[in-house]
Structure 1
Amino acid sequence: MIEANLSKLKSGIIGEQRLFRMLESYRNHFPYKVVKDVSLDAGGKFQIDCMILTPKLIFILESKNIGGKLYFEKNPERLVRVKENGETSVLESPEIQVERNVALFNWWLEQQGLKIPVVGAFVFTSSTPPLILKGPERVTSLFPKSIFYYLHQKWNEYNDREQCLSKGDIDKLSKIIQIECKKNRFEQYPLRKSWNLDTVQIVNGVRCLKCSRIGMARLYGKWQCPACNHSDKDSHIPTLQEWFIFNKDQITNAECRDYLMITDRHLAKRLLKHENLLEFFSYKSTYYKWKW
């Protein structure tokens, strides 16, 4: 059961990381701010994978890292997945999840005295896209490469609407959301103790966000995947985030070298100099923590 829950959680994190990296590669012509991993309370806690704040509307995007054959069933609403090996599983409908989060976030905005349109969609982030044999009817479903078109299409639909938020308002709302997220975070990291993960081996190596294989090599200032040949200079950041989620709440230079499978302590020090990592000094050593 622990291994199954761990695999499910890791799969979700990998999907979210793929979504975030895709959004980082976009440059929209309208002002916007991306807020990740949102946890809020509107009479009940709810979690949103990704939120995009703009002057005229707010986008909610949910990542779904699932493959196989998919059937969106009705009455009752559910998602039926059939894997390549024939194994069938029943999941909560992403339509219900998106609609619930849009409603709860609208309620949360009302509590802040704000009124702005909110639209939602879910994104299939699996490295192997699913085959959708019976699709959703009410909520937009996307593949990563169609996100850019979807955002611009929706923005154009609201082109004649009055601006609800200035750039300063967007920055202020983003800060309020981030403060509230710290109060309402769902999981207490790291999960090793609460999930009894001492019995589960933490696999060392940098994970490829394209094919999910662990074991990227550091070559010429970038990480190179030996399986799919994908290269990226920052692939170690999502891998380090997994360390803080599953293993420990801090990491040293030596632990970083062992975990990322590198030998150069100077390289490890450079890799740990990142906006998502905080540096701390003690009498005996220097260590780093994730900035949640």
Structure 2
Amino acid sequence: MLMKQRTAPEQLKGLQALARRLPIAHEKYRFIQEELYKQRAGYGGEQEYDRCMQEVRTEYAHAILHDLSLRHDGVRFQLDSVFIAPDRIVVTEVKNVADRIVVKANPLQFLKETPGGTRTVFRSPAAELDRKIHFLTGWLRDRGIDVPVTGLITFAHHNELVFEEEPTIPIVPNYEAPSWFRNLRVEQERLSEGEIRLLADELITCDCPYSPFPLTERYGIAPGDLKAGLLCGDCSSDRIMIRAGKKWKCLQCGETARTPYVQAIEEFFMLAGGALTNRAFCEFTGVTCRHTAKRALQHPLLRQTGTRKAAVYMFAD
């Protein structure tokens, strides 16, 4: 039973906006494009895993939760997917890595092999998984829940997996995950169906997604380096929308909008951050009329403190 679905990562949405507003000549443009590629690939692999897991049917009660962010002992840890069975909890680490994947054991290593045969070691998903199992076990112990936590590593279907030695952790392609879970045998029931549901509800209640914003601070980019203007929300162009009568028009796709401000406001907080003032809004969007800016900022999305020139706008609770 699916108890929590996955949503697009906040960092992915922010990087998409940052990539559009960062000039090509900027020293960090290529790096941001690489970060965006990795985020898209990772999310794509997770979405593929989620689609595969829709096929899971078992004779025993279970719960599936995708994309959890929890805290234990002051440490935040993110779980790609959690499967709660009557006798155990399985944490899945989902990977989408380009090239051929070679897995070695003793010690466990993961290598990428290019078509030319060049091998490079990449960060071990097993080490990441071990960390998450450790913190989830502590999180459960704090709540008096005694159930073993195990792990599974999956890779996107287009990766060729080669095992030079048998790994100690189960590793399968995404499309084999449903079969892997169907073949689990419940050895000793520790959680009833009702307890599984209660635990799933507790995990959802304690979910505290991480906010990576503002991205300019995270990546060491000056907010003033960003392109100013209202960007089209209907195409991927970085073209600035222009005023056309009472509307704004995208010269790339031809789409028009009467008030294309909401996306710009969201991008301001994702990228530049800090307090949004009338002046900051004008600088970020390129709007030259302070009265137009004031009307745009009178949006239900925002909460105002202060008045006149001292007015500051933040996201409404």
TM range (shorter): 0.5 to 0.7
TM-aligned CA distance change 1:68 to 1:37, over 3 Å = same
Corresponding residue for residue 50 of structure 1: 81
Specify which of 204, 210, 217 is matched with residue 186 of structure 1: 210
**CA separation in 2, counterparts of 1:111 and 1:8?**
35
Specify which of 35, 41, 59 is matched with residue 29 of structure 1: 59
CA deviations 1:261-280 (Å, max 9, x no partner) are xxxxxxxxxxxxxxxxxxxx
Specify which of 167, 171, 175 is matched with residue 137 of structure 1: 167
Identity of aligned residues (%): 20
**Bigger shift: 12-21 or 74-83?**
74-83
**CA separation in 2, counterparts of 1:202 and 1:11?**
24
CA deviations 1:138-173 (Å, max 9, x no partner) are 10001223222321332x1x33x1x22222222221
Secondary structure, aligned partner of 1:59: strand
Shift of 1:121: 0.7
Is the aligned partner of 1:99 residue 2:130?
Answer: yes
Secondary structure, aligned partner of 1:29: coil
CA contact 2:102–2:161 (8 Å) conserved in 1: no
CA contact 1:66–1:130 (8 Å) conserved in 2: no
TM-aligned CA distance change 1:2 to 1:76, over 3 Å = farther
Shift of 1:33: 1.2
Which amino acid in structure 1 is aligned with residue 43 of structure 2?
I
Secondary structure, aligned partner of 2:57: coil
TM-score by length of 1: 0.60
Unaligned runs of 5+ in 1: 206-242, 251-282, 287-292
**CA separation in 1, counterparts of 2:268 and 2:55?**
30
**CA separation in 2, counterparts of 1:3 and 1:85?**
25
What is the aligned length?
A: 210
Determine which structure has more spread, i.e. the larger CA radius of gyration. 2
**CA separation in 2, counterparts of 1:63 and 1:77?**
17
Corresponding residue for residue 11 of structure 1: 41
CA contact 2:99–2:114 (8 Å) conserved in 1: yes
CA contact 1:102–1:120 (8 Å) conserved in 2: yes
Corresponding residue for residue 59 of structure 1: 90
Shift of 1:65: 0.7
Is the aligned partner of 1:115 residue 2:146?
Answer: yes
Specify which of 111, 115, 121 is matched with residue 90 of structure 1: 121
Corresponding residue for residue 180 of structure 2: 150
Which amino acid in structure 1 is aligned with residue 49 of structure 2?
L
Shift of 1:97: 1.9
CA RMSD of aligned residues (A): 3.6
Is the aligned partner of 1:71 residue 2:83?
Answer: no
Unaligned runs of 5+ in 2: 1-30, 236-262, 271-297, 302-317
CA deviations 1:216-255 (Å, max 9, x no partner) are xxxxxxxxxxxxxxxxxxxxxxxxxxx9xx96999xxxxx
TM-score by length of 2: 0.55
